[in-house]
Copies of this chain bind each other. A is one copy, B any other.
Amino acid sequence: MQISELARRTGVPVATVKYYLREGLLPSGELTGATRARYDEAHVERLRLVRALLGPGGLSVATARSVLAAVDAPGTAVHEALGAAHRALPGVGPGDPPDLDRARAVLARRGWRVAEDSPALRALAAALAALEAAGYPPGDDLLDRYAEAAGRIGEQDVAEVPAGSLPEAVRFVVVNTVLLEPVLLALRRLAQEDASGRRFSGG
């Protein structure tokens, strides 16, 4: 199909499709003339993925490019792709490494094993430091409750990764890691709103 058809199929303006092509988020089409290229179903699918990552996924163009690189890297094994995705995703920025001991203690109580340089471990340590700095150091029981809830869904996330095709498994891991995060946060806020209504406004 031509670029106009690709735009129509996905509801993305032609100018935006061209922008994604320039930014390397969308692979070039097959050249069929000096200024014409042909696109296929893989482009439709990729364009939908790009829109999802940049929209409610909330990623920047640069971060989306890193995440897509993790999806596309040939021969990546699933466990390594998960690590690559976690490193590409928004998390804790550069800066002094936070004190990791408290974060490691939470993991040790659950028996979780993660890499020494896990970006999520740094992110957890930084988040705990922020709570401390704000005057709300979280207790172990609160952290254990959060870890239990997170563990339940994280375990299930990984159990659902399709085992057959490696590229499909990698894509599944990256997409679900990014796009289920806003689902989880929205559901926690909705649960808070419901509980707050029952506790503080009698209904």
A34 located at the interface, meaning its Cβ lies under 8 Å from any Cβ of chain B in the complex: no
Query: Are B145 and A199 in contact (CB-based, < 8 A)?
Result: no
Query: Are A136 and B185 in contact (CB-based, < 8 A)?
Result: no
Check A154/B124 contact, CB under 8 A, given A48-B134, A146-B180, A175-B134. no
Query: Are A133 and B197 in contact (CB-based, < 8 A)?
Result: no
Which of A13-21, A24-32, A155-163 contacts the other chain?
A: A155-163
Interface contacts beyond A49-B135, A158-B195: sample of 17 additional A-B pairs, CB < 8 Å, sorted by A: A45-B135, A56-B92, A82-B192, A82-B193, A83-B193, A106-B187, A112-B193, A119-B189, A121-B190, A124-B182, A128-B183, A134-B179, A142-B156, A149-B152, A149-B184, A157-B192, A181-B185
Instruction: Digitize A39-58: 1 where CB-to-B-CB distance is under 8 Å, 0 elsewhere.
Output: 00000010011011101111
Chain A residues in the interface with B (C-beta under 8 A): 45, 48-49, 51-53, 55-58, 77-79, 82-83, 86, 90-92, 103, 106-107, 112-115, 118-121, 123-124, 126-131, 133-136, 138, 142-143, 145-147, 149-161, 172-173, 175-177, 179-197, 199-201, 203
Residues of B within 8 A of A156 (CB): 142, 145
Residues of B within 8 A of A147 (CB): 187, 191
Check A197/B134 contact, CB under 8 A, given A112-B190, A190-B118. no
**Total copies of the chain:** 2
Query: Are A192 and B154 in contact (CB-based, < 8 A)?
Result: yes
CA of A195 to CA of B79, assembled, Å: 9
Check A187/B136 contact, CB under 8 A, given A115-B193, A130-B179, A193-B83. no
Query: Are A191 and B153 in contact (CB-based, < 8 A)?
Result: yes
Query: Are A192 and B158 in contact (CB-based, < 8 A)?
Result: yes
